A and B are shown apart, each in its own frame.
Chain A
């Protein structure tokens, strides 16, 4: 029966070409969309590694005329004052690079002849606690690290995986980074800060911002509040910070909102793509419905004939489903041929698995839709009575 239908479909290739092209187009579009989604969902799956709920970020302005001791004293009093407010759980300072802030600092170094490149963040000793970082090995900074003989740094898991020896630890390793020798004192779990869709890449926390007078002071305050913190708390924080810094330049943002915004460059196109391909699929489904209904109408006498020749209702249903399947598989086969060139020829610098998932996902989705759409008209065809359709004047 299959080869018979293959012949029939081949002989009707002109009539079937539209459906074939529609399937091919849907496959290509779906492949792209699914590849994009799988790639980004995979990134989304790797955790940020810090707390953003009930966490506020306060941007403040430290007066330019303070020396580093003055800076330090002012920051200590801000931490004390804000930390003592009711409903504030933890407070920490952070450097110019902030979660979801959009900026990146990168620096390089060298270790055992290997070049090292990593992003940098500048936190204080309270940040791990405030942002609930997970330290998987070693420890976070303490105040004494500021005056330690060897500068210290904390790295994230991606750093360890990239630059550590397999299975080995990097704790207490001393390497040149950002110009000086530094000892690694701690390693965090996954940590990335640009957005949920950011790549998980090596990152270094540096603690020496206070020491260098040429550098700007840390001007972001991370405040973790209780879930029940009232809206008026924002006002209190604003007033106190403005008073202490003698500057009204104070901006308070909620990290949870910042996160949503930082994700938007991916979530918005992804949503649009999913909606468009959803409509495309609905279109395909309706087109298929229409094509099958008209086909079955036009082929009433063929159906009657086949039944008169001994085809059972089930065999007629199977025929129409198989016919649709043949055209669909044709489209999917050609589509896969094109799609598979992307990973085979390394056309994009993206892990091959996402393309294979995209191909697989597109095939499954299109086949499912086609099968559902083919079933109803095919069942209808199987119920035609041969005497009715073969009736001749």
Chain B
């Protein structure tokens, strides 16, 4: 397969292809009084299969960068290409579909839905796909097994520890077999032991499934385990 447009079933894109490509991306937030430049002249290419970490002081634009890669925020300037496709028109259903099939998100504060059981939380991305209920359930349990939480499927989020919650969030991010996982400080709310657990799972995903991962972190130790580190300062790349 040499196509640059990966499908859901085969997430092994040829190594070396650019999975994420940002060209001259800038982002300005305008409020009534001030304009904040959260990101400027950002050029960044993430090859398929890479595990990239991003570091930088608070407020330097890391989350903004991740949101732009994840197509949940629109750049003020510049272009974004994902899996070989240049992204245009941020409000259509096609973007939603693309997010659903290509992207998985992991957040610092987990963002689980407390009124849904663990397995129902995990199947969330699959709800926006044409699929039978039993197939959804099967894939969700499979994803839970991958993060070692099979025995917690019917629990509710408030019955879980922080590390377990983040593992549920990872299962949710991978259940749709996306090509890209974007993790915004996934270990930020966890102690170092749980943080290591989460990091091990992400490393294994990257290794075994070849999933491209971009992770924002404050922890040099975590960053050292990834393929490459990009540092930001005041919305600009400094390395």
| A11 CA / B117 CA spacing, docked (Å) | 9
| A312 CA / B92 CA spacing, docked (Å) | 8
Q: Count how many pairs of residues, one from A and one from B, have CB atoms less than 8 Å apart in the complex.
A: 79
Sample (24) of A-B pairs whose CB atoms are under 8 Å apart: A1-B127, A4-B123, A7-B116, A7-B120, A8-B120, A11-B116, A11-B117, A307-B72, A309-B128, A309-B172, A310-B96, A310-B101, A310-B176, A311-B127, A311-B128, A312-B97, A315-B96, A385-B72, A385-B73, A387-B73, A390-B67, A391-B63, A392-B107, A393-B58
| A4 CA / B109 CA spacing, docked (Å) | 23
Q: Contacts A306-B124, A308-B99, A309-B105 known; list 4 others, CB within 8 Å.
A: A11-B115, A305-B124, A311-B128, A312-B128
Q: What chain A residues lie within 8 Å of B26 (beta carbons)?
A: none
| A315 CA / B120 CA spacing, docked (Å) | 17
CB distance from B38 to the nearest CB of A (A): 11
Max count, chain B CB within 10 A of own CB: residue among A307, A310, A387: A310
B93 contacts chain A at the CB level, 8 A cutoff: yes
Q: What chain A residues lie within 8 Å of B99 (beta carbons)?
A: 308-310
A392 pairs with B127, CB closer than 8 A: no
Choice from A12, A302, A307, A392 contacting B96 with Cβ under 8 Å: A307
Chain B: interface size category: 20 to 34
Q: What chain A residues lie within 8 Å of B120 (beta carbons)?
A: 4, 7-8
CB distance from A180 to the nearest CB of B (A): 80
Would you list which residues of chain A between 3 and 22 have a CB under 8 Å from chain B?
3-4, 7-8, 11-12
Would you list which residues of chain B between 72 and 103 have a CB under 8 Å from chain A?
72-73, 93, 96-97, 99-101
Q: What chain B residues lie within 8 Å of A264 (beta carbons)?
A: none
B15 contacts chain A at the CB level, 8 A cutoff: no
B133 contacts chain A at the CB level, 8 A cutoff: yes
Choice from A4, A390, A391 contacting B127 with Cβ under 8 Å: A4
Would you list which residues of chain A between 367 and 393 have a CB under 8 Å from chain B?
385-387, 390-393
Max count, chain A CB within 10 A of own CB: residue among B67, B96, B108, B124: B96
A314 pairs with B63, CB closer than 8 A: no
| A385 CA / B91 CA spacing, docked (Å) | 10
| A308 CA / B68 CA spacing, docked (Å) | 12
Chain A, residues 18-30, CB within 8 Å of chain B (1/0): the string is: 0000000000000
A71 contacts chain B at the CB level, 8 A cutoff: no
CB distance from A220 to the nearest CB of B (A): 73
Would you list which residues of chain A between 288 and 343 have a CB under 8 Å from chain B?
301-302, 304-315
Choice from B58, B100, B108, B184 contacting A310 with Cβ under 8 Å: B100
Q: What chain B residues lie within 8 Å of A386 (beta carbons)?
A: 72
B70 contacts chain A at the CB level, 8 A cutoff: yes
Q: What chain B residues lie within 8 Å of A391 (beta carbons)?
A: 63
B96 pairs with A311, CB closer than 8 A: yes
CB distance from A317 to the nearest CB of B (A): 13
Q: What chain A residues lie within 8 Å of B93 (beta carbons)?
A: 312, 314
Choice from A312, A385, A390 contacting B111 with Cβ under 8 Å: A390
Would you list which residues of chain B between 111 and 131 have a CB under 8 Å from chain A?
111, 113, 115-117, 120, 123-125, 127-129
Chain B, residues 154-190, CB within 8 Å of chain A (1/0): the string is: 0010000000000000001000100000001100000
| Shortest 10 CB-CB contacts between residues of A and residues of B | A310-B100, A387-B73, A386-B72, A312-B96, A11-B115, A309-B125, A310-B128, A312-B93, A387-B67, A310-B99
Would you list which residues of chain A between 28 and 84 have a CB under 8 Å from chain B?
none
A8 pairs with B63, CB closer than 8 A: no
The residue in chain A whose Cβ has the minimal distance to the Cβ of B128 is A310
Q: What chain B residues lie within 8 Å of A7 (beta carbons)?
A: 116-117, 120
Q: What chain A residues lie within 8 Å of B108 (beta carbons)?
A: 392
Q: What chain A residues lie within 8 Å of B127 (beta carbons)?
A: 1, 4, 311
* Residues A305 and B96 in contact in the complex (CB < 8 Å), given A310-B101, A387-B67, A391-B63: no
Q: What chain B residues lie within 8 Å of A311 (beta carbons)?
A: 96, 100, 127-128
CB distance from B197 to the nearest CB of A (A): 21
| A191 CA / B115 CA spacing, docked (Å) | 64
Q: What chain B residues lie within 8 Å of A315 (beta carbons)?
A: 96, 128
CB distance from A78 to the nearest CB of B (A): 83
* Residues A390 and B107 in contact in the complex (CB < 8 Å), given A8-B115, A302-B113, A308-B70: yes
The residue in chain B whose Cβ has the minimal distance to the Cβ of A310 is B100
The residue in chain A whose Cβ has the minimal distance to the Cβ of B66 is A387
Q: What chain B residues lie within 8 Å of A305 (beta carbons)?
A: 111, 113, 124
| A237 CA / B97 CA spacing, docked (Å) | 86
| A3 CA / B108 CA spacing, docked (Å) | 29
Q: What chain A residues lie within 8 Å of B124 (beta carbons)?
A: 305-306, 309
B115 pairs with A310, CB closer than 8 A: no
Q: What chain B residues lie within 8 Å of A1 (beta carbons)?
A: 127
The residue in chain B whose Cβ has the minimal distance to the Cβ of A5 is B127
| A386 CA / B97 CA spacing, docked (Å) | 15
B115 pairs with A12, CB closer than 8 A: yes
The residue in chain A whose Cβ has the minimal distance to the Cβ of B74 is A387
B111 pairs with A310, CB closer than 8 A: no
| A315 CA / B129 CA spacing, docked (Å) | 11
Q: What chain B residues lie within 8 Å of A387 (beta carbons)?
A: 67, 72-73
Chain A, residues 192-220, CB within 8 Å of chain B (1/0): the string is: 00000000000000000000000000000
Q: What chain A residues lie within 8 Å of B133 (beta carbons)?
A: 3
| A393 CA / B62 CA spacing, docked (Å) | 11
| A308 CA / B125 CA spacing, docked (Å) | 9
Q: What chain A residues lie within 8 Å of B63 (beta carbons)?
A: 391-392
Q: What chain B residues lie within 8 Å of A4 (beta carbons)?
A: 120, 123, 127
Q: What chain B residues lie within 8 Å of A12 (beta carbons)?
A: 115
